[in-house]
Amino acid sequence: MASKREQRRKSRKIRRKRREQRRNARPTGPPIPIPDTLEEFADQYCAWPHIENRRRPVYGLSPIQKLYFAGRTCFRYDANGDRIYGADIIGGKPRRCFITTAGLDGTLYSMVRSSVRCMMTVHTESKDVSGEMRRQVMFAAQRLPEEWTGGVKQVGGVIEFKKTGSIWLCVTAGSSEDIASSVVGSTVDVLHMTEVKQYRYPEALFGAAKEAVPTTTGSILCESTFPTHKSHWHYQQYLASKEGAGSFLRAFFWPWMDDPRKVLAADHPEYSQVMSSAF
């Protein structure tokens, strides 16, 4: 009788063979070129889980995402296809999934175009935050054409595209100043800082990031709803960058009322309710 180890080995071999058979059985067609623009890539190929039905993929760009892409400095390429340095700061996000996924769209675009190391920082290592980010990135990555990625694998918290060797990881921003200043570590081609208002030491983390992100080819996106205290680093950087004196090349602001999903037509049944004096 075969041992349990031998049985598991045999089962793995069978599963590998079946995967190979399915892969070979897939219909082949003309190659799909990687879009020349981030806008087309994000609009046509990036699918994110529906906010309520998590299994349902949602494609397309919102007006706010289109505005950001039109004015961004991150995720850009020159005429030779080489990456261009960019640093954007966003405040007053109307809807988190709009801007966060816009940043992830740019990250995935970078990952299919060349070999890059990408990092997202979040305020806490909980399954509702970092775990959810990993799940969403894996959801979108697995729906990209396989000829672009060569297949997607996840080992621990690291997601890798086999074809380009690009990796993406999500880490916490640090509970102390020393940890925050060492979070980024080695070279990071794309750094996405999300919900920065909740970071305890954002300045220390950003200081380390400036040393790790290449100054000619890297991208840094810092996005958050505005913090309560105006002395917070994110708010002060937004103001300074808006005047051309901050650490970011461009500053963006969208109030919540600009979110098209927050607008009610005058003839909408709920319009009279929210406009009444009793509301």
DSSP string, 224-259: EPPPSSTTSHHHHHHHHHHTT-SSSSEEEE--GGG-
Residue 14 has a pLDDT of 72
Sign of the alpha-carbon torsion through 5, 6, 11, 16 = positive
- DSSP letter, residue 172: E
CA distance 55 to 66: 25
Question: How many angstroms separate the Cα of 194 from the Cα of each of 223, 234, 274?
Answer: 5, 11, 32
Write phi, then psi, for 70 (nearest 5 degrees). -70, -30
Write phi, then psi, for 254 (nearest 5 degrees). -135, 115
* Tokens (6 digits) for 192: 């996405």
Residue 117 has a pLDDT of 96
Residue 71 has a pLDDT of 96
Question: How many angstroms separate the Cα of 170 from the Cα of each of 127, 130, 221?
Answer: 12, 6, 14
Question: How many angstroms separate the Cα of 208 from the Cα of each of 95, 117, 185?
Answer: 28, 16, 8
Residue 277 has a pLDDT of 72
181, 192, 150, 185: CA torsion to nearest 10: -10
Neighbour tally for 212: CB within 10 Å: 18
Question: How many angstroms separate the Cα of 276 from the Cα of each of 49, 175, 260, 270, 271?
Answer: 35, 45, 21, 10, 9
Angle at 266 between CA 262 and CA 272, to 5 degrees: 90
CB-based contacts of 261, cutoff 8 Å, min separation 6: 95
Segments in 142-212 forming alpha helices (H): 146-149, 177-180, 202-212
Cβ(72)–Cβ(64) below 8 Å? no
Residue 124 has a pLDDT of 75
Residue 25 has a pLDDT of 55
Residue 267 has a pLDDT of 80
Residue 92 has a pLDDT of 77
CA distance 152 to 167: 10
CB-based contacts of 113, cutoff 8 Å, min separation 6: 34, 77, 81, 164
- Walk along the chain (279 residues) in steps of 10 and give the mean pLDDT of each run: 69 73 64 95 93 80 91 96 96 72 97 96 78 93 96 93 96 76 82 92 89 94 89 95 96 76 74 71
CB < 8 Å & 24+ apart, contacts of 236-240:
237/89, 238/89, 238/91
Question: If you compute the radius of gyration of the chain from its CA atoms, what whole number of angstroms results?
Answer: 21
